[in-house]
Amino acid sequence: MTGLVLAGAVADYGSARVLGPLDLALAPGERVALVGKSGAGKSTLLTLMHQRWRDQGVALMPQDLGLVPSLSVFHNVYMGRLDRYPWWANLWTLVRPRQRDVVEITALLERLDIAEKRWTPCGELSGGQRQRVAAARAIHQGGRVLLADEPVSALDGPQAERVMRALTETYDMAVLAMHDLELALRHCNRVVGIQAGSIAIDRPSRELSTSDLLDLY
């Protein structure tokens, strides 16, 4: 497996430059934590990566999650693999899910501790539950790289650990925007700090402590 490269990434808002130009290369096995003040450009950078890499097997977990409130948890998770089945199979799944998918997705949901809600419409879930559903969808999708924006912001300690572990185990490469620095250092092996639209820190996690990162804020 080869890595991914983002070269000369730039984002403008009106006439003001909000990000870049910056270069970032992602090597196999790298799980990058993207840290920095809110408004520093983390989400913008993730969006740019998604645009650049989208036809190379990217799974996206945006901050607003992108769940369909009227569909059940099962169907929202199933949506991660809509591209693997023909349209009629997807249509049939809306009416009557296939046993094989139910077993597989239930196992995944059990891992994230939300299996009991699998037939509940997502619109009826709490914020933390919705976030776990979106994580399950990203895990179910699979692919080369995961791009996630604050994937565990609404979860408490043990649940956040569990979801972070599940996400980083599934994906060989990942870029995760994080605000919990300890969690970021524990689950990612590389940290990229963004400050005022450019890269201020880019080092392996083991060389960093949370106090090193506080300068960014």
Partner 1 sequence: MPFGATRRVSLALVALAALCLWLGDFEISAHDPWQELGRLALGLVRPDFGAVDALGEALLRTVAFAFVGVGVGASAGLLLALCFHRLWVRTGCAFVRAIHELFWALIFLQCFGLHPLTGVLAIAIPYAGIFAKVYAEILDETDPAPARTLPQRTGRLSALLYTRISQAWPHLVSYTAYRLECGLRSSAVLGFVGMPTLGFHLASHFAQGHYAVVGALLLLFYALIASLRLWVRPKLLPFYLLAAPFCLGTGLPILWSNVARFFTQDIVPAPLRNGEGLAGLGPWLGDLLLHQALPGIWNTLLLSQIALVLTGVLAMALFPLISHHFTGRHLTGRLGAGLGHGLLVVLRSTPEYLLAFILLQLWGPSMLPAVVALALHNGGIIAHLVGRRSNQIVLRPDAPRGLERYAYEVAPRVYGPFMALLFYRWEIIMRETAILGILGIATLGFYVDSAIQEIRFDRALVLILITAALNIGVDILARRLRAHLRLRHTINRQSC
Site for partner 1 in 127-146 (CB under 8 A): 134, 137, 141, 143
Minimum CB distance to partner 1, residue 135 (Å): 12
Contacting range for partner 1; rule: CB under 8 A; set: 22-30, 72-80, 98-106, 181-189: 72-80
Binding flag, residue 67, partner 1 (CB under 8 A)? yes
Task: Determine the 3-state secondary structure of 3 from DSSP.
Answer: coil
Three-point CA angle 83, 104, 68, nearest 5°: 55
Site for partner 1 in 176-205 (CB under 8 A): none
Binding flag, residue 66, partner 1 (CB under 8 A)? yes
Q: Would you state the structure tokens that stand for residue 30, as one six-digit string?
A: 């790298």
22/58 with CB nearer partner 1: 58
Chain-centroid distance of CA 85 in Å reads 23
Rounded CA separation 174/148 (Å): 8
Contacting range for partner 1; rule: CB under 8 A; set: 24-32, 67-75, 100-108, 162-170: 67-75
Q: Would you state the structure tokens that stand for residue 116, as one six-digit string?
A: 């009991």
Rounded CA separation 201/34 (Å): 10
User: Over the Cα atoms of the chain, what is R_g?
Assistant: 18
Describe the crossing of helices 157-170 and 127-141 by its angle, rounded to 10 degrees: 10
Binding flag, residue 207, partner 1 (CB under 8 A)? no
139/181 with CB nearer partner 1: 139
Binding flag, residue 83, partner 1 (CB under 8 A)? yes
Task: Determine the 3-state secondary structure of 25 from DSSP.
Answer: strand
Binding flag, residue 57, partner 1 (CB under 8 A)? yes
User: Which of 64, 100, 158, 211 touches partner 1 by CB under 8 A?
Assistant: 64
Minimum CB distance to partner 1, residue 86 (Å): 8
Contact in structure between 194 and 34 (CB atoms under 8 Å): yes
Q: Would you state the structure tokens that stand for residue 81, as one six-digit string?
A: 């693999």
Binding flag, residue 14, partner 1 (CB under 8 A)? no
How does strand 145-149 pair with strand 31-35? unpaired
List, in sequence order, every residue forming a beta bridge with 175; answer none if it has no partner: 32, 147
Minimum CB distance to partner 1, residue 117 (Å): 18
User: Which of 85, 154, 199, 212 touches partner 1 by CB under 8 A?
Assistant: 85
Minimum CB distance to partner 1, residue 52 (Å): 12
List contacts with partner 1 (CB under 8 A): 54-55, 57-62, 64-71, 75, 79-87, 90-91, 94, 134, 137, 141, 143
